């Protein structure tokens, strides 16, 4: 090894700070190099290219979200677990809106494993509802859609009116819960 304080992880860390402070569009290799006190091409010793850096950032964010979600679900079950998961998710997105929008949803090799762990946690949150096989998959998809949709819209500032967002989110949670409890198909 040589002298460096730099490493792939350190580069991702700097990238995250840029994303947080200036938004996902400000994430350029030039900007990262600037913060690292290094010439731009030097970064290629740590990261294949900008696309990979983005994927690594996304993976990191997904990991953080997984951790948050795990803690929320841990030691709870049923509606309580589900509400804790949803609240944790939203508050993460609200705390780091730029970071949240840097989350890449498209499945890339880099994020595949992180994505699966996250889905696993969501699945765990739903365990008490006694869903089997496909039913569990459908429920996970709906929960992801609801949480992600709300988080994206809230981060983007798409909810303009003055009404309390927490209350809107509580209604969303209520929809999920009652949808899981109420039998379908008349």
Please choose, from the candidates 116, 113, 91, 180, the residue with its C-alpha nearest in 3D space to the C-alpha of residue 143: 180
Q: How far is the CB of 91 from its own copies (least distance, A)?
A: 16
Please give the residues from 10 up to 39 whose contact with DNA meets the rule CB under 7 A.
Answer: 28-31, 37-39
Q: Cα(66)–Cα(117) distance, rounded to whole angstroms?
A: 7
Find the length of the chain. 186
Residue 40's binding partner among DNA, its own copies, none (Cβ under 5 to 8 angstroms by kind) is: DNA
Size of the site for DNA (CB under 7 A): 23
The distance between the two most distant Cα atoms of the chain, rounded to a whole number of Å, is 69
Q: Cα(149)–Cα(37) distance, rounded to whole angstroms?
A: 38
Q: Binding to DNA by residue 46, rule CB under 7 A?
A: yes
Contacts of 72 (CB under 8 A, 6+ apart): 81, 84, 85, 87, 88, 89, 125
As given in the structure block, the two tokens for residue 88 are: 């944790």
Residue 2's binding partner among DNA, its own copies, none (Cβ under 5 to 8 angstroms by kind) is: DNA
Of the pair 31, 142, the CB lying nearest DNA is at 31
Binding footprint of its own copies on the chain (CB under 8 A): 105-107, 115, 134, 137-139, 141-142, 144-150, 152-153, 156-161, 163, 165, 167-168, 170-172, 174-182, 184
Q: Cα(72)–Cα(161) distance, rounded to whole angstroms?
A: 29
Q: Binding to DNA by residue 84, rule CB under 7 A?
A: no
Residue 148's binding partner among DNA, its own copies, none (Cβ under 5 to 8 angstroms by kind) is: its own copies
Q: Which residues bind DNA (CB under 7 A)?
A: 1-7, 28-31, 37-42, 44-46, 49-51
């Amino acid at each position: 090894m040589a002298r460096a304080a730099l490493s792939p992880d350190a580069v991702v860390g700097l990238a995250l700070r840029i994303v947080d402070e200036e938004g996902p569009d400000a994430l350029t290799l030039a900007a990262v190099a600037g913060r690292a006190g290094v010439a731009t091409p030097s970064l290629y010793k740590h990261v294949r290219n900008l696309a990979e850096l983005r994927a690594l950032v996304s993976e990191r964010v997904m990991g953080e979200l997984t951790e948050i979600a795990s803690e929320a679900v841990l030691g709870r079950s049923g509606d309580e677990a589900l509400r804790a998961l949803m609240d944790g998710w939203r508050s993460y997105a609200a705390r780091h809106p730029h970071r949240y929008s840097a989350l890449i949803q498209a499945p890339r090799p880099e994020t595949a494993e992180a994505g699966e762990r996250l889905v696993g946690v969501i699945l765990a949150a739903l365990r008490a509802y006694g869903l089997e096989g496909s039913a569990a998959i459908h429920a996970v998809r709906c929960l992801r859609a609801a949480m992600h949709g709300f988080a994206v819209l809230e981060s983007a500032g798409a909810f303009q009116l003055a009404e309390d967002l927490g209350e809107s989110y509580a209604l969303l949670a209520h929809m999920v819960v009652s949808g899981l409890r109420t039998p379908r198909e008349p």
